[in-house]
Structure 1
Amino acid sequence: MSQNVAKQMIADVFNDIADGLKSGRFGKKVRIGLTILGSEHGVEEMVKAAELAKAKYDDFEIVLIGSKVEGDFEIVEVETAEEGHKKMTAMLEAGELDGCVTQHFDFPIGVSTVGKVTTPAKGRDMIIATTTGTTSTNRVEGMVINTISGICAAKALGIKNPKVGILNVEGARQVERILREVQEHGFKFEFAESARADGGAVMRGNDLLAGTPDVMVCDSLTGNILVKMFSSFTTGGGYETIGAGYGPGIGDGYDKLVNIVSRASGAPLIAEALRYCASCAQNKVLEIAKDEFKQAKKAGLQASIDKVCKKAKAESSEEEVKMPPKKVVTFSIPGIDILELEDACKVLWKEGIYAESGMGCTGPIILVGEDEGEKAVEVLKKAEYIQ
């Protein structure tokens, strides 16, 4: 045996060990499926994506599910996209695949996908939690759970202590209150700080473009729009090129690794979606999720959600409260969620404080008289509308 051959054999052994340490499967690379039927750009585009991924990454295997095509890939033949989903699911359940990238997959309620985009201002990767699926029929509860899913995906990508930001949409302030409470009770994570001068964990459009947080929390409909805009803003919308798609479906107890791309996704994006799925498989994102949801529950997650959501429901059904006499209002109180503005005003009216709702440069506000500002703040804190 020549010295060069011996060196190569030793190098191969160390590469196998490195792969095994990363994936937990010594001597065996993770196998990621790709369903190739159903794309608006045709089967050729899907095969091109697989070829791009294979040329760029050598630490996972790609299995194509669809019609027979040319190329150096293992192919599982099916005739339709629907048949491809059935075969994909069966292979995941049998352990023949470690994960799969597909289009338009139906997740159960409680599971939604965690996308990954590349932000234009600084070229920084950012997790968007979430982008498809329905985590909960209650918007606030859904966004809170989306936070946990986003943290799981970030950790699977190697971010040990991901920083979380909450997009400034309806429900954001309620979500923040719940998250801060479970954080105080032992669920470990960090909030990001907005790049805007007034800071805070609630993120604005500037933070989206700059990728301020590692994980941007929002409802899945908003997240879906964001992924589409980030991925195709240079192409006019018909061909998604940038980022890694809509991501893996994550939820409490969900046991299949399925990453989503759009039927408008192009080969460059799908190649990165394969990489994203492989990283999630290698680093066992579903095991991470099991542990993170367990820790969140231990920190009183559901009780914190119920306290905020049930309070909002109860107060919205209360009898009409008489408004005090009008007066000049110039004292501004920020930090009120837009969904709670009306109820927060009524809480102040009950205390004889005249209040109006408004919209400041950073979001919803309540306006009261200068002479009643401090009292109004205390009332709102006691009623848990602000912190």
Structure 2
Amino acid sequence: MASNATKAMIAEVFNEIAEGIKSGSFKKKVRIGLTILGSEHGVEEMVKAAKLAKGKYGDFDIVLIGSKVTDEFETIEVSDAEEGHKKMVELLEKGQIDGCVTQHFDFPIGVSTVGRVVTPGMGREMIIATTTGTTSTNRVEGMVINAISGISTAKALGIENPKVGILNVDGARQVERILTEVKNRGYEFNFAESLRADGGAVMRGNDLLAGTPDVMVCDSLTGNLLIKIFSSFTTGGNYETVGYGYGPGIGDNYDKLVNIVSRASGAPLICEALRYCATCAQNKVLSIASNEFKAAKKAGLQEEIDKVTKKAAPAAAEEVKMPPKKVVTFAIPGIDILELEDACKSLWKEGVYSESGMGCTGPVILVGEDEGEKAQEILKKAGYIG
């Protein structure tokens, strides 16, 4: 004899068919899993999130993975969080769920999660690429690939031409140069413009608060910190309430839709994480990502990454004699802090005295007023500025 859960599932399928026949546009609901074991706030908080999502959104179904605590949802029973992850992967591989929201999942190298927040300055939604995982062991390469992942996710959310900003962290200028070259070679996307007076695609803290770009590119450790601050700045940190969580794991050819929340995430945030996962499933974010990576690689993505990262790789120490000191008041911006010392030495080799400094927008190289133009040409030729 069929269980109550099975009867409910059969009834729901028939209701979907009836609604589809009535509207003339039958479309099967996506099924989103939710692992409910392992939260710092207990199983009840996870179930509360599922109930919130069910009441707020009616276009996807929720399947609980964990202990049986309610008859309101189909539940796949497991004994602990580790078993829950194994069952989640099995269900995804068999196509029995279309995506899943879970906590603390270990993605392979090359995959990172794309978070989504509501910024406090203007109340705008903003994608943070990325927030957990390791896209690459090289920081600059990782951030460039994070940009592609962020663009893919934005398109899955219905943003046709997402504007991309690069957070002003170590490596940002190198990332900007690579993405500019890939864009010039045919990969279509738009840079955001900072709200600060001097503009540019490199974003400041003000842009974070205002949500200036659709996609904010950063390394995943910084992104992880940002998502935690945005989600729990009103609660003291132990209960995340605002936003959509750490998002789906995106990578070149990754084939499982797994959205991450924290063990500190509360029901209001997990509710929206379920919505986020369902939208990604409905709009096939993984297929979009596959196409975006193909387009970027066709435009020389790896070649441009290699140009910069190989140049930045440690080389045998070269003794460069510093030219005679002189007054330096001509500032050249756009130098990445990771390349500042090498950029100065490239000028010394050409007989141009230079010093490193820090302006309000980041690192600068200072040279004499009479050698400003010459210094810029040397730095451009060496690939330190665009």
Cα distance in 2 for residues equivalent to 1:71 and 1:196: 53
Corresponding residue for residue 40 of structure 1: 40
Corresponding residue for residue 98 of structure 1: 98
Q: Deviations over 1:95-125 (max 9, x none)?
A: 0000000000000000000000000001100
Q: Is 2:265 the partner of 1:249?
A: no
Corresponding residue for residue 326 of structure 1: 325
Q: CA deviation at 1:255?
A: 0.3
- Aligned-pair RMSD on alpha carbons? 1.3
3-state SS in 2 of match to 1:357: strand
Kindly report which structure 2 residues correspond to 1:303-314, keeping only aligned pairs within 5 A, or say none.
Answer: 303-313=303-313
3-state SS in 2 of match to 1:50: helix
Corresponding residue for residue 23 of structure 1: none
Corresponding residue for residue 230 of structure 1: 230
3-state SS in 1 of match to 2:145: helix
Q: Is 2:149 the partner of 1:149?
A: yes
Kindly report which structure 2 residues correspond to 1:1-387, keeping only aligned pairs within 5 A, or say none.
Answer: 13=21, 15=23, 17=25, 26-313=26-313, 316-387=315-386
3-state SS in 1 of match to 2:150: helix
Cα distance in 1 for residues equivalent to 2:261 and 2:287: 23
Cα distance in 2 for residues equivalent to 1:57 and 1:16: 21
Rate the CA distance shift 1:155–1:16 in 2: closer, same or farther, 3 A.
Answer: farther
Cα distance in 1 for residues equivalent to 2:106 and 2:24: 36
Q: Deviations over 1:259-286 (max 9, x none)?
A: 0000000000000000000000000000
Please, what TM-score do these two structures have when normalized by structure 1? 0.94
Q: CA deviation at 1:10?
A: 8.9
Q: CA deviation at 1:317?
A: 3.3
Cα distance in 2 for residues equivalent to 1:156 and 1:182: 22
Cα distance in 2 for residues equivalent to 1:14 and 1:152: 34
Q: CA deviation at 1:57?
A: 0.3
Cα distance in 2 for residues equivalent to 1:10 and 1:313: 62
3-state SS in 2 of match to 1:309: helix
Q: Deviations over 1:307-346 (max 9, x none)?
A: 01101115x5341211111111111110100001001000
CA contact (8 A) 1:114 1:153 kept: yes
Corresponding residue for residue 6 of structure 1: none
Instruction: Look up the equivalent residue of 2:347 and give its one-letter code.
Output: L
3-state SS in 2 of match to 1:326: coil
CA contact (8 A) 2:20 2:27 kept: no
Instruction: Look up the equivalent residue of 2:337 and give its one-letter code.
Output: I
Q: CA deviation at 1:163?
A: 0.5
CA contact (8 A) 1:113 1:247 kept: yes
Cα distance in 2 for residues equivalent to 1:245 and 1:235: 16
Cα distance in 2 for residues equivalent to 1:201 and 1:156: 23
Instruction: Look up the equivalent residue of 2:56 and give its one-letter code.
Output: K
Q: Deviations over 1:17-39 (max 9, x none)?
A: 2xxxxxxxx44100000000000
Q: Deviations over 1:58-108 (max 9, x none)?
A: 000000000011241001111100000000000000000000000000000
3-state SS in 1 of match to 2:357: strand
Instruction: Look up the equivalent residue of 1:219 and give its one-letter code.
Output: D
Cα distance in 2 for residues equivalent to 1:323 and 1:235: 53
Corresponding residue for residue 3 of structure 2: none
CA contact (8 A) 1:16 1:27 kept: no
CA contact (8 A) 1:345 1:356 kept: yes
Instruction: Look up the equivalent residue of 2:181 and give its one-letter code.
Output: E
Cα distance in 1 for residues equivalent to 2:181 and 2:130: 21
CA contact (8 A) 2:194 2:204 kept: yes
Q: CA deviation at 1:131?
A: 0.3
Range moving further from structure 2, 318-327 or 335-344: 318-327
Please, what TM-score do these two structures have when normalized by structure 2? 0.94
Cα distance in 2 for residues equivalent to 1:130 and 1:60: 26
Instruction: Look up the equivalent residue of 1:54 and give its one-letter code.
Output: K
Cα distance in 2 for residues equivalent to 1:147 and 1:236: 30
Instruction: Look up the equivalent residue of 1:211 and give its one-letter code.
Output: G
Q: CA deviation at 1:16?
A: 6.7
Rate the CA distance shift 1:12–1:118 in 2: closer, same or farther, 3 A.
Answer: same
Q: Deviations over 1:192-246 (max 9, x none)?
A: 0000000000000000000000000000000000000000000000000000000
Moved over 6 A (4+): none
Corresponding residue for residue 14 of structure 2: none
Instruction: Look up the equivalent residue of 1:385 and give its one-letter code.
Output: Y
Rate the CA distance shift 1:16–1:113 in 2: closer, same or farther, 3 A.
Answer: farther
Q: Deviations over 1:167-201 (max 9, x none)?
A: 00000000000000010111110000000000000
Q: Deviations over 1:149-180 (max 9, x none)?
A: 00011001000010000000000000000000
Q: CA deviation at 1:14?
A: 5.7
Rate the CA distance shift 1:350–1:279 in 2: closer, same or farther, 3 A.
Answer: same
Percentage of matched positions with identical amino acids: 80
Q: Deviations over 1:128-152 (max 9, x none)?
A: 0000000000000000000000001
Cα distance in 1 for residues equivalent to 2:200 and 2:361: 10
